Structure 1
Amino acid sequence: MLEIVPIDTPTLGDRSYLVHDGTVAFVVDPQRDIDRVLDLAAAAGVAITHVFETHIHNDYITGGLALAARTGAAYHVNADDPVTFDRVAVRDDDVVTVGGSMTVQVIATPGHTFTHLSYALREHDEPVAVFSGGALLYGSVGRPDLLGPTHTHDLVHHQYASAHRLAAALPDTAALYPTHGFGSFCSATQSDATASTIGGEKRTNPVLTNEEQAFVEEVLAGLDAWPAYYTHMGPANTAGPAAPDLSTPRHADAEEIRRRLAAGEWVVDLRNRVAFAAGHVAGTLNFGIDGSFATYLGWLIPWGTPLTLLAETPEHVAEAQRELVRIGIDRPAAHATGTPTGWSTGPLATIPRATFADLAQVRHHRPVTVLDTRRNLEAAAARIDGAIHIPLHELRDRLAEVPYGEVWVHCAAGYRASIAASILAAAGRHVVAVDDAFDQAAAAGLPITTSTHEPALSNY
Structure 2
Amino acid sequence: MTAGIDVQVIETSSLGDRSYLATDGEVALVVDPQRDIDRVIALAGRLGVRITHVLETHVHNDYVSGGLELSRLTGATYAMAAADEVPFQRMPLADGDLVEVSPRMRVRAIATPGHTFHHLSYALEGPQGAEGVFTGGSLLFGTTGRTDLLGHEHAETLARHQHASAHKLADLLPEGAQVWPTHGFGSFCSATQAEGDASTVGREKELNPALRLAAEEFVTQTLSGLDAYPAYYAHMGVTNLAGPEPVDLRAPTTADPLQLRRRLEAGEWVVDLRNRKAYVRAHLAGTVSLALDGPMATWLGWMIDWGAPLTLLGETTEQVAQAQRELVRIGIDRVAAAATGTPEELAAEPDQVHTMATADFAALSAALEGQAPDGLPAPEVVLDVRMGNEWNTSHIVGAVHLPLPELPHRLDEVPEGAVWVHCGSGYRATAAASLLARAGRHVVVIDDAFDTAADKGVPMTVSA
TM over 0.5: yes
CA RMSD of aligned residues (A): 0.9
> Counterparts of 1:202-241 in structure 2 under 5 Å?
202-241=205-244
Range moving further from structure 2, 223-232 or 78-87: 78-87
1:360 counterpart letter in structure 2: S
Q: Give, in angstroms, the shift of residue 367 of structure 1.
A: 5.1
Would you say 1:252 and 2:255 are equivalent positions? yes
Equivalent AA in structure 2 for residue 351 of structure 1: M
Listed as ranges, the matches of 1:380-419 within 5 Å are: 380-419=392-431
Q: What corresponds to 1:455 in structure 2?
A: none
| Deviation at residue 343 of structure 1 after TM alignment | 1.4
Q: Does 1:173 align with 2:176?
A: yes
Distance (whole Å) between structure 2 residues aligned to residue 236 and residue 270 of structure 1: 27
Match of 2:364 in 1: 359
Cα distance in 1, alignment partners of residues 101 and 146 from structure 2: 31
Determine the C-alpha separation between the residues in 2 that align with 1:160 and 1:148: 18
- Cα deviation for residue 83 of structure 1 reads 1.4
- Please give the alpha-carbon distance, in whole angstroms, between the structure 1 residues aligned to 2:322 and 2:56: 25
> In the alignment, what sits opposite 1:32?
35
1:278: how far off?
Answer: 1.0
Report the AA paired with residue 145 of structure 1: D
Secondary structure of 1:93's partner? coil
SS in 1 for 2:60: coil
Contact 2:139/2:166 (8 A) holds in 1: yes
3-state SS in 1 of match to 2:251? coil
Cα displacement string for residues 363-390 of structure 1 (whole angstroms, at most 9, x for unaligned residues)? 2224521000000110111110000011
CA distance in 2, matches of 1:199, 1:271: 43
Contact 2:57–2:136 (CA under 8 A) maintained in structure 1: yes
In 2: Cα distance, 1:98 partner to 1:82 partner: 24
Match of 1:156 among 151, 159, 162: 159
Equivalent residue number for residue 14 of structure 1: 17
For 1:414, the aligned partner's letter is: G
Rounded Cα–Cα distance in structure 1 between residues aligned with 2:313 and 2:215: 50
In the other structure, the counterpart of 1:299 is 302
The alignment status of 1:200 with 2:203, answered yes or no, reads yes
Secondary structure class of the residue paired with 2:218 = helix
Q: 1:97: which partner in 2? A: 100
Query: In structure 1, how many angstroms separate the alpha carbons of the residues matched to 2:318 and 2:44?
Result: 24
- Give the whole-Å Cα distance in 2 for the aligned partners of 1:218 and 1:12: 24
After TM superposition, the structure 1 = structure 2 runs for residues 315-330 of structure 1, keeping only pairs within 5 Å, are 315-330=318-333
Q: Does 1:438 align with 2:450?
A: yes
Distance 2:345 2:338 in 1: 12
Opposite residue 354 of structure 2, the aligned amino acid is A
The answer as to 2:459 corresponding to 1:447 is: yes
- Distance of 1:375 and 1:231 partners within structure 2: 19
Worse overlay, 359-368 or 146-155: 359-368
1:45 to partner: Cα distance: 0.5
In the alignment, is the contact (CA less than 8 A) between 2:140 and 2:184 conserved in 1? Answer: yes
Q: Which residue of 1 aligns with 2:88?
A: 85
Contact preservation (8 Å) 2:313, 2:340? yes
Range that drifts further, 191-200 or 157-166: 191-200
- Structure 1 equivalent of residue 382 of structure 2: 370
Q: Distance in 2 between matches of 1:64 and 1:352?
A: 45
User: Which residue matches 2:5?
Assistant: 2
Aligned to 1:309, what secondary structure does the other structure show?
strand
Looking at structure 2, the residues matched to 227 and 3 of structure 1 have their Cα atoms a distance apart, in angstroms, of 34
Gaps of 5+ in 2: 371-377
Q: Deviations over 1:393-451 (max 9, x none)?
A: 11111111111220000000000000000000000000101000011211121110001
Amino acid at match of 2:285: A
1:265 to 265, 268, 274: 268
Deviations 1:89-141 (A, max 9, x none): 11111101001211111111000000100001110261111100001001010
Cα deviation, residue 265, structure 1: 1.6
Q: Which residue of 1 aligns with 2:286?
A: 283
Q: Which is worse superposed, 324-333 or 186-195?
A: 186-195
| In structure 2, C-alpha distance between the alignment counterparts of 1:20 and 1:367, rounded to whole Å | 58
Q: CA deviation at 1:192?
A: 3.1
> Aligned residues, how many?
452
Once the two structures are superposed, residues 155-194 of structure 1 have per-residue CA deviations (whole angstroms, 9 ceiling, x without a partner) of 0000000011111111111111010111111011113311
Deviations 1:205-229 (A, max 9, x none): 1110111111111111111010111
**Identity over aligned residues, as a percent?**
57
Structure 2 Cα separation of the partners of residues 356 and 202 of structure 1: 41
Corresponding letter in the other structure for 2:183 = H
Runs of 5+ consecutive residues of structure 1 not aligned to the other structure: 453-460
Q: Secondary structure at the match of 1:443?
A: helix
Q: Secondary structure at the match of 2:454?
A: coil
Residue 74 (structure 1) shift? 0.3
Q: 1:458 maps to which residue?
A: none
Q: Please give the secondary structure, in 1, of the residue aligned with 2:424.
A: coil
| Closer/same/farther in 2, CA of residues 313 and 71 from structure 1, 3 Å limit | same
Cα offset, 1:77, TM superposition: 1.2
Q: Which residue is 2:58 aligned to?
A: 55
Partner of 1:242: 245
Cα distance in structure 1, aligned partners of 2:289 and 2:403: 17
Task: Tell me if the contact between 1:139 and 1:205 (Cα under 8 Å) persists in the aligned partners.
Answer: yes
* SS of equivalent to 2:283: coil
Partners of 2:58 and 2:81 within 8 A in 1: yes
Distance 1:266 1:85 in 2: 35
Which residue of the partner structure matches residue 187 of structure 2? 184
Alignment-mate amino acid for residue 220 of structure 1: L
Q: Which residue is equivalent to 2:375?
A: none
SS in 1 for 2:264: helix
Say which is worse superposed, 257-266 or 13-22, in terms of deviation.
257-266
What secondary structure is seen at the aligned counterpart in 2 of 1:403? coil
Which whole-Å CA distance do the structure 1 matches of 2:367 and 2:138 have between them?
A: 49
Q: Are the equivalent residues in 1 in contact too, given 2:379–2:419 (CA < 8 A)? A: no
Give the aligned residue type for 1:349.
Answer: H
Determine the C-alpha separation between the residues in 2 that align with 1:206 and 1:192: 12
Question: SS of the counterpart of 1:268?
Answer: strand
Distance (whole Å) between structure 1 residues aligned to residue 174 and residue 115 of structure 2: 23
